[in-house]
Amino acid sequence: MPNPLRSEGEAFRFLLGTVVYFALIAIAGVINAWAGLVVFIVLTIAVVWWWWSSRQPAPPRQATSIRGGAPGEKRILVIANETVGGAPLLDKIKERASSSEDTAKVHVVSPALNSPLRHLASDEDPARAAAQERLERSLRKLKEEGIEASGEVGDGDPLQALEDALRTFGADEIVISTHPEGRSNWLERGLVTQARERFAVPVDHVVVDLGDAS
């Protein structure tokens, strides 16, 4: 049976909403039994409507056109978080960079993924610092391979991070790196499919299993 909560963030919001739901009913019930019943009915209708609306498919979006690189230049946009330094991703970047005679330029985006509690507290600094450290290690490895690479820490929403990066880095293709199926929130949220629908350039997907020592 598939998990209806597609990410840690959704699970946290579900738990918080459940606590608020029962707390409001309990408070109204203490004041007056009929008030408790009314609050229960109203909140239940609101929850059912929200659940139903959130499960409806989003209307199709027109693919966003993207300004490509200059003639003789191949520009590759990469997005990865914990997998940003993984060998399969570095191999994929080298493969894509050498797949034509054009000069390759690579831009790596590492989203600052934060925990729900820190997000609510507006404490983004640890997440950004961790993402920056991983990003710098990856860029050093790419430059050691002779690949011209730049990078940035992006928005915590990977799709938004891609869109933000594309405003300044016109890409000819996008590479998305994730954990394997079952351990990747990005795959559960359909990031690869959404990116292919939204952006009018090829989107490649590489899986990095950090637990595979081989």
Q: Does a structural domain hold residue 118?
A: yes
Q: Does a structural domain hold residue 1?
A: no
What's the CATH code of the domain at 121?
A: 3.40.50.620
Same domain, 91 and 133: yes
For helices 33-54 and 8-31, what crossing angle results, to 10°? 160
Comparing CA positions, the residue from 149, 145, 168, 155 lying closest to residue 78 is: 149
Same domain, 39 and 139: no
pLDDT in tens, 175-214: 999 999 988 889 988 999 999 999 989 999 999 987 764 4
Structural domain including 200 reads 73-207
Q: Does a structural domain hold residue 151?
A: yes
Provide the pLDDT for residue 67: 61
Q: Is the pLDDT score of 108 beyond 90?
A: yes
Give me the number of domains the chain comprises: 2
89 close to 80: Cβ distance less than 8 angstroms: yes
**Average pLDDT, integer, range 143-169:** 89
Provide the pLDDT for residue 176: 95
Same domain, 94 and 181: yes
Same domain, 118 and 35: no
- Whole-model pTM? 0.66
Q: Does a structural domain hold residue 212?
A: no
Q: Tell me the CA end-to-end span of the chain in Å, nearest whole number.
A: 32
